[in-house]
Amino acid sequence: MSLTKEVIEQKLKEKFSGENFIFNEYRDELTISFDKKNVVPICKFLKEEVELQFKLCEDVTAIDWARRKNRFTVVYHIYSLKHNFRLSLKADVDESDLSIDSVSSVWKTANWEEREVYDMYGIKFNNHPDLRRMYMPEEFEYYPLRKDFPLMGIPGSNPLPKK
Amino acid sequence: MQKLTKDDVHPKIVEALLQDTDITVEDALENEMILNMGPQHPATHGVLRLLLRLDGESIVACVPELGYLHRGYEKMAENMTYYEFIPHTDRLDYLSPMANNVAWVLAVEKLAGIEAPPRAQYIRMMVSELARIASHLVAIGAFAMDVGALTVFLWTLREREKILDIWDILCGARFTNSYTRIGGVANDAQPEAIAKVKWFIDQYLENLDECERLLNTNRIFIERLEGIGVVSAEDAIDLGLTGPSLRGSGVEYDLRRSNPYLFYNEMDFKVITYPNGDSLARYFVRADETRESIKIIKQILDKMPSGETLLNQPKKVLPKKTEIYSRMEELIHDFMIVNFGINPPEGEIYSAVENPKGELGFYLVSKGEGRPWKCKIRSPSFVNLQAVPHLVKGHMISDVVAIVGSIDPVMGEADK
């Protein structure tokens, strides 16, 4: 039995009746958008529901839309090994409240992926076990992948270590 | 050697290192030991830094530090056209640049909604399998070297050299190939290159057996790896391991089989799995996978159709050089693509392929412009490295090199 959009849609609507899901299909890829406050229960459900089993979290990333009202979107790519089905999840994060719940309790992979998003976009992940910067030094004040960070970097922002 | 002091390690790293314990740094420096391994350590495969908390010789905690090779490719990708990024993919997993080139153009083609002609796809398949062999040969050789068997490294690199020679004929470069183009490949595979591939696959298996004889019956090698760094199938999935590291734990997950791209659905090959999940199993998977790659290349050479190697789609695909110099239309298209890009329609895609190290994915967001609005590189080494703290816990310090070697990370990819 192969997994289809209808099955996922029906399952999610059954479980989270009050939630406003937006389903979008583009080039054979299914994307589901929802509000950020329910991200952990939804992810847990998608992982643990017997008929879905999205056990592999491939990727967590974010998009900076620069001038949009909800400036950032956090994107999760998850995969069901049982059905060979890939799914993207999206949750908007606004600049006024730059935080979203961490899903590292659901998938361990998300730990570093979320650290990377925090490092690059400055989005805080609540309840994250070890929220440090991934690539940049801890003292670095800026978030390099934001659209307002210049390509050439900011001179003096990354000083050499003191001798 | 100078003693490590509190100031040498950032407080947040210390915090991560010393969680689940009530000792302080000074205590740890007295009773338990904090050892800094890397970033300049020959067995960490590049600039990987591991901070280890040791009790005697066994590891209590491990905190990897990344970012020493961070070049900001994702930021750079947002500021260049899709064509311009092809050479940069060479520098991600620099042991198998061809496979990265293929992954990138497949992602861009999916975004733009075009497809390369069959011959180009067969050539791409051939070079990705050769890249897989080349990468696994380094992995096996370096892995054996890490645990003390130096000869194997020389022998596997000798084999790898032959693949680099093939690439030399094929595209003129040995390391940073940039061979693929959006909508095809840079040039057709010449008869000399095909002949060389045939020669290579004919003699390869014998040479691999030779290398394996040095290892598989070597008691030191086996005893240093058996039962070291065991990860169960469930943990491996939870940690997001992909590629040989996941298949070494007995999970039959290979994107070539589960989500076939190019023409892998027409190929007959086995997905190699070993159930034990230890470092030795990961080595066996790699060695056997190169055998399967040889099998695939044989089928590719049998089935390879003739025909065009570049799509005729003037708005999306760069025309051939000879045509640019002699025809007006082609010159205009070339100018437009080079200066303004190929402008894929608005949308976003995630495209993943099975690279030697694992699943390499590109997440591209297009706003209909010549440059990607967002490009996320899902690199297998980065995700696989996350498993290192779980794998090394409780093992001896000399096992760390074996475990890192069995994961086979490439820092160019992990740090992006």
CATH (domain of A93): 3.30.460.80
Sequence-ordered list of residues with C-beta below 8 angstroms from that of A28, at least 6 positions apart, any chain? none
Structural domains of chain B, with CATH: 1-68+385-399+412-416 (3.30.390), 81-311+346-378 (1.10.645.10)
Minimum mean pLDDT range among A107-111, B32-36, B71-75: B32-36
Round to whole Å and give the CA distance between B155 and B315.
Answer: 47
Residue A23: inside a domain: yes
Whether the bond into B39 is cis, omega within 30 of 0: yes
B346 at interface of A, judged by CB pairs closer than 8 A? no
**Is B70's CB within 8 Å of A136's CB?**
yes
Q: How far is A92 from chain B (nearest CA, A)?
A: 15
Cross-chain Cβ contact A77/B361 below 8 Å = yes
**Chain B partners of A56 at a C-beta cutoff of 8 Å?**
237, 240, 253
User: What's the pLDDT at B321?
Assistant: 81
In a domain, A14, yes or no: yes
Encoded tokens for B408 = 């086979």
- Chain A residues in contact with B377 by the CB 8 A cut-off are none
Q: Is residue B214 very low, low, confident or very high in pLDDT (cuts 50, 70, 90)?
A: confident
The 10 Å CB-count burial string (b at 16+, else e) for B111-133 is bbebebbbbbbbbbbbbbbbbbb
Q: Tell me whether residues A29 and B349 touch, CB distance under 8 A.
A: yes
Beta-carbon count within 10 A of B271 CB: 16
* Cβ–Cβ gap A58/B240 under 8 Å: yes
Helix axis angle, B118-146 to B97-112, nearest 10°: 140
Q: Report the distance separating Cα A35 and Cα B341, nearest Å.
A: 35
Q: Is there a domain that residue A139 lies in?
A: no
What is B330-354 written as a DSSP string?
HHHHHHHHHHH---PPSEEEEEEEE
Q: What does the alpha-carbon distance between residue B136 and residue B138 come to, in Å, rounded to a whole number? A: 5
pLDDT of residue A48 exceeding 90:
no
Contacts of B19 in chain A (CB under 8 A): 130
| Chain B residues lying within 8 Å of A135, measured CB to CB | 66-67, 70, 415-416
Strands A99-101 and A124-126: parallel
The answer to whether residue B356 scores a pLDDT higher than 70 is yes
- pLDDT, position B136: 92
A75 occurs within a structural domain: yes
DSSP letter for each residue of B109-176: HHHHT----HHHHHHHHHHHHHHHHHHHHHHHHHHHHHTT-HHHHHHHHHHHHHHHHHHHHHHS-SSS
| pLDDT higher than 90, residue B25 | no
3 state SS of B321: helix
pLDDT of amino acid B135: 92
Q: Look at residue A44 and tell me if it is in a domain.
A: yes
Nearest chain B CA: its distance from A78 CA (Å): 10
E-assigned strand segments in B38-99: 49-55, 58-65
Q: How far is A38 from chain B (nearest CA, A)?
A: 21
Rounded CA separation B50/B94 (Å): 22
* Interval B121-129 mean pLDDT: 92
How far apart CA A48 and CA A54 sit, in angstroms, is 7
Task: Write down the residue that tokens 């937006």 correspond to.
Answer: A22
Q: What gap in Å lies between CA B195 and CA A92, rounded to an integer?
A: 54
**Distance (Å, rounded) from C-alpha B300 to C-alpha A43?**
41
Output the pLDDT for position B30.
66
Closest partner residue to B237 (CB to CB) among A55, A77, A134 is: A55
Inter-residue contact A87 to A54 (CB < 8 Å) = yes
How high is the pLDDT of residue B20? 72
- Residue B319: DSSP 8-state: P
pLDDT higher than 80, residue B278:
yes
- Percent of chain B with pLDDT strictly greater than 90: 23
> What per-residue confidence (pLDDT) applies to B28?
64
Average pLDDT, chain B: 87
Per-residue pLDDT reduced to its tens digit, B321-332: 888 888 888 888
Q: Do A58 and B365 touch (CB under 8 A)?
A: no
Is A156 contained in some domain? Answer: no
- Is the Cβ pair B350, A77 closer than 8 Å? yes
Question: Does A35 have pLDDT greater than 70?
Answer: yes
Asked if residue A160 belongs to a domain, the reply is no
Contacts with B22 (C-beta within 8 Å, 6 or more apart), sequence order: none
Instruction: Mark yes or no for CB contact B347/A26 under 8 Å.
Output: yes
pLDDT at B1 over 50: no
The interaxial angle of helices B118-146 and B397-407, nearest 10 deg, is 170
B10 → chain A, closest CA residue: A138
Tokens of B245: 């590291």
Query: Of B10, B111, B359, which is closest to A58 when you measure between CB atoms?
Result: B359
- The verdict on a CB contact (< 8 Å) between B348 and A26 is yes
E strand or H helix that includes residue B325:
helix B321-326
* Amino acid B336: pLDDT: 87
Residue A133 is assigned to a structural domain of this protein? no
Structural domains in chain A (count): 1
Euclidean distance between CA atoms A44 and A157, whole angstroms: 39
Q: A26 is in which domain, residue-wise?
A: 5-126
- In terms of CA atoms, which chain B residue is nearest residue A72? B374
Q: What is the pLDDT of residue B2?
A: 57
CB pairs under 8 A between A and B: 96
| pLDDT score at B72 | 87
The percentage of residues in chain B with a pLDDT greater than 70, rounded to a whole number, is 96
Q: How confident is the model at residue B148 (pLDDT cuts 50, 70, 90)?
A: confident
pLDDT digits (tens, 9 = 90+) for A117-140: 999 998 999 888 888 888 888 888
Give the contacts of B370 (CB within 8 A, at least 6 positions apart): B81, B82, B340, B341, B342, B343
- Convert the pLDDT of each residue in A9-34 to its tens digit: 888 888 887 778 888 888 888 898 88
What separation in angstroms does the CA of A4 have from each of A7, A23, A44, A88?
Answer: 5, 12, 19, 14
Phi-psi region of B34 (alpha: psi -120 to 50; beta: other; left: phi over 0): beta
Residue B104 has pLDDT above 90, yes or no: yes
Give the pLDDT confidence of A50-96 residue by residue, as tens digits: 788 888 888 899 999 888 888 899 999 999 888 888 889 999 888 88
pTM of the predicted structure, to 2 decimals = 0.89
Q: Does B376 touch chain A (CB under 8 A)?
A: yes
Nearest CB to B240; choose among A64, A109, A151: A109
